[in-house]
Chain A
Amino acid sequence: MTQSYVPKISLQNVGKTFTVRPTKDAPLGSTLTALDGITLDVAAGEFLTLVGPSGSGKTTLLDLLAGLTRPDTGKVLLDGKEVTGPGKDRAVVFQQYALFPWRTAAANVSFGLEGTGPDGKRLSRRERAERARTYLDLVGLAGFEDRYPHELSGGMKQRVAIARSLAYEPDVLLMDEPFAALDAQTREQLQEELLRIWRTTGKTIIFITHGIDEAVYLGQRVAVLSSRPGRLKEIVPINLGDRTRDGDVRSDARFVEHRHKVWALLHDEVLKAQQAGHTKILPDGTAPDETPQPISGKAA
């Protein structure tokens, strides 16, 4: 892949600490370091996958990129400018689809098109419907415009969610384990579709997953995070040769080799995380499993 190396996204020594609500054991409250000293550049048009054990701060990192939270240390840069809040230059795709159940597929896709756009223009109802149709078509859902989310399968819902993110034409797609809730067959199908969409649209994609296979299959590079506090352990460049030819990439020797490498990197971290009993950090910054630490103490 040839890319002009101007980083689209640049993380510079990014750290995030949460204050945990006071509990019986720690009446003063405690802190939880989710991310620590992450430095990472992502090129424009790159597909980067991010793996890490549970509680390694993957979702926190995505929230920082989306501008839903601000880092405590360091900077998150987008096109060289610091990210200060959410914006339509980035789109988030969530694991649980996050479709608006009272809106049809087409109305969901055009959600981000309502109101004034970045150029100060307002799309008419007809233009929005047109755009929604185009993007539903792109994700292979032509003819499903008028269906409500509860009438769609999990895979179709995630397709709608992807179409919704693409519809307002962001540069960056942030995906938080988007295929984790799908069955294996649907997941493989959507992975392939995502690669196709990535090739046709040229978006920069940051894709969080806990599946090593998925990370290696999709990413041009795989970033491996350590167990809590999340630090960048290693970035594994993936080279699977010519991906466009038909064939079972997953059985390719190079795929197996890359897969093993990521597995080995992740294995120790997963063990560490399991021994510490880490699970997901909730959006409000609490981790139900976390052993309370005194507020001054550093994370072990």
Chain B
Amino acid sequence: MSAPTLTTNTHSTTQTSVTSPTADDVTLRRSPAPAAGLSRIKSGLVNGGRALWRAGAILLFLLLWELGPLYLAPASTRVFLPPLHEVLAALGSLIANGQLQNHLGASLTRSASGFGIAVVSAVVLGLLVAWYGALDRFLNPLLEVFRNTAALALLPVFTLLLGIGETSKISIVAYAAFFPVLLNTIAGVRTVDPLLIRAARSLGLSNFTLFQKVILPSAVPTIFTGIRMAGTSSILVLIAAEMVGAKAGLGYLIVNSQMSFLIPDMYAGILAVSLLGLAVNYLLVGVERHFSRWRTAVGSRNS
């Protein structure tokens, strides 16, 4: 009983009566119904308080964005940092005239194709590398070199070889998304509990069945962690690639608006990018969680 009372004290200022734990216990024993109602109100307040606290930083940031340019900054800055409502208005008109949808569609198509190519090829190669030690020893040094070469450093190479069209953009996204998936696939297969392999072997399973029924399912959560990381980096790299040379896409929208001095449009583009990133991450976290349901629920209990 003492724990909820304490949290209520810290999180809610509207609490009317401070009840001691012993008094609560007595009420509970004598009349359970009102006590239950009271505790429901209390937990409601606690939850509401927590939600407010969690949203607090975002709200504060948006408030600063709105009021800062209006009252704190000199008028010249306001041109480069328009208040939130102007940006939202720009975003609204970009949606109304369908421009945003066009750019978003272009970006999504590119990142989805690149990401898809990366996931499929990286999972397949990762499984092979993890299974065949000789292949791993052979390829590992080269993979280390590529992994540690920033994808964007290779952007000029991709542009020179594949032009400024879709191919080069999809390729660079695939390149950037490839390594997180590959490394996590290898790690996932390597960390399969050897006891499970022994148990499956004792049943006389063939290598292929062992792979399909034990190694792959056991590695899936780790692979999905890699996929989630790849999702984030594929968007990051795509935006940069679109800024350098493209005729559509969110990166192009941002740079083009800046050059045309449509500053609110530029911010609208940035806002769209961060919302897209958030959405992709949430989606992939959801998928990851779905495939890791069987894992011990320790993490989710604490969050």
Contacts and interface: CB of A to CB of B under 8 A. Distances in A.
B195 A96 contact: yes
A94 B195 contact: yes
A88 B217 contact: no
B141 interface: no
B69 to A, nearest CB: 52
Contact of B199 (A94, A114, A149, A150): A94
Contact of A283 (B194, B220, B296): B194
A111 B203 contact: yes
A67 B204 CA distance: 9
B196 A68 contact: no
Contact of A101 (B194, B204, B294): B294
A112 interface: yes
B201 A86 contact: yes
Contacts of B294: 101-103, 148-150
B297 interface: yes
A88 to B, nearest CB: 6
Interface residues of A, number: 26
Contact of B203 (A94, A112, A149, A283): A112
Nearest to A148: B294
Contacts of B213: 111, 114
Contacts, number: 56
A91 B217 contact: no
The B contact surface, by secondary structure, is: helix
A115 interface: yes
A281 B199 CA distance: 18
Interface string B274-303: 000000000000000000011111000000
Contact of A150 (B196, B203, B217, B297): B297
B202 A100 contact: no
Contact of A115 (B195, B209, B217): B209
A66 B296 CA distance: 30
Contact of A100 (B198, B214, B296): B214
A230 B209 CA distance: 35
The A contact surface, by secondary structure, is: loop
A86 B297 contact: no
A223 interface: no
Contact of A92 (B199, B217, B220): B199
Given A100-B214, A150-B294, A88 B195 contact: no
Nearest to B214: A100
Contacts of A149: 294
B234 interface: no
B188 to A, nearest CB: 13
A90 B203 CA distance: 8
A263 to B, nearest CB: 31
Interface in A91-108: 91-92, 94, 96, 98, 100-103
A87 interface: yes
A88 B205 CA distance: 10
A85 B204 CA distance: 7
A268 B294 CA distance: 46
A209 B293 CA distance: 35
A98 B295 CA distance: 15
A89 to B, nearest CB: 10
A114 B209 CA distance: 10
B225 interface: no
A88 B297 CA distance: 34
Interface in A185-240: none
B218 interface: yes
Contacts of A96: 195
A68 B198 contact: yes
A13 to B, nearest CB: 24
Contacts of A88: 203-204
B12 to A, nearest CB: 35
A102 B213 CA distance: 10
Most chain B CB atoms below 10 A, which of A94, A98, A111: A98
Given A115-B209, A150-B296, A100 B196 contact: yes
Per CB-CB distance, the 8 closest pairs between chain A and chain B, nearest first, are A98-B199, A86-B204, A92-B202, A102-B294, A150-B296, A98-B195, A102-B217, A148-B294
Interface of A: 66-68, 85-88, 90-92, 94, 96, 98, 100-103, 111-112, 114-115, 148-150, 168, 283
29 contacts: A67-B204, A85-B204, A86-B201, A86-B202, A86-B204, A88-B204, A90-B202, A91-B202, A92-B198, A92-B199, A94-B195, A94-B198, A96-B195, A98-B195, A98-B198, A98-B199, A100-B196, A100-B218, A101-B295, A102-B218, A102-B220, A111-B203, A111-B213, A114-B213, A115-B209, A148-B293, A150-B296, A283-B194, A283-B198
Given A90-B202, A111-B203, 4 more contacts: A68-B198, A100-B196, A101-B218, A114-B213
Interface of B: 193-196, 198-199, 201-204, 209, 213-214, 217-218, 220, 293-297
